[in-house]
Amino acid sequence: MVRSDTQSTVIDAAENILDATHTHFTHKGLLRGLSSKRVLVDVTVTGGDGWVEACYTGEDKQQGFVSRTLEGTRTKTIGRFRAPGIAELEYWGPDGLTLATTFHLRQASPDHVEGIGWLIGPNTGIGAQIKTFAFKPMFKLALHQDRRVLSSASRNAALSPDAKPVVGPLDFLRNDIAAIMSGRLPDCAETPRTHQIQL
């Protein structure tokens, strides 16, 4: 378990955790490889009352240090948000769930989010214990990298408080998370979306 606090909002923090594309830049080498090589990935976005998820298929493995150390072959990745502030990442292999990370987030003040994160994986004896011990400092490093980005975005947003957030075409879950946090049904609940991207 790791505790953290960040200058941000639950919406932005959750979207950051669940955004697969930012890892090329924010976590290069740690979560994704140093090479510019990309793979074609299919993304399906679905949701319902109080939840939304994106399922990524086509990437058999991230080439970063963490994935090479902790994972085998990957069949799909799921990023999921559940109200009021749970962000879940699941990594599935041919034999089932191989790794899962869950973050519980809460808006501690108007500009600060507190969070607790867990890593869950199969208990394979001493090997699993060694991996868990090795993962914690890497997990903390990734959180530190994300905190820097989120804090910078929060400070920039404060300069123009009336400006709307910029939501790009790869921000697959941002608008749906915002809808859920405002008590509305996410758009994908009625019309699931599919995308194809190079990841």
Q: Measured over all CA atoms, what is the biggest interatomic distance in the chain, rounded to whole angstroms?
A: 53
Task: Quote the CA–CA distance of 178 and 131 in Å, as a whole number.
Answer: 35
Instruction: Report pLDDT for 92.
Output: 92
Decide: pTM greater than 0.95: no
Find out if CATH 3.90.380.10 is the number for domain 2-198.
yes
Between CA 44 and CA 50, with CA 49 as vertex, the angle to 5 degrees is: 85
Domain residue extents for the chain = 2-198
CA distance linking residue 136 with residue 133, whole number of Å: 6
Tell me the residue type at 133: F
What is the predicted pLDDT for the residue at 142? 82
Report the pLDDT value the prediction gives residue 60, as an integer from 0 to 100.
73
**% the chain with pLDDT above 70:** 81
Please write the tens of the pLDDT for every residue from 148-166. Answer: 999 999 999 889 888 888 8
pLDDT in tens, 133-152: 666 777 778 888 889 999 99
User: Sorting pLDDT into bands at 50, 70 and 90, what band is 34?
Assistant: low
Mean pLDDT of 173-193: 97
pLDDT at 169 over 70: yes
- Residue 44 has a pLDDT of 98
Residue 33 has pLDDT above 90, yes or no: no
Q: Is the pLDDT of residue 55 over 80?
A: yes
Mean pLDDT of the residues in the chain: 86
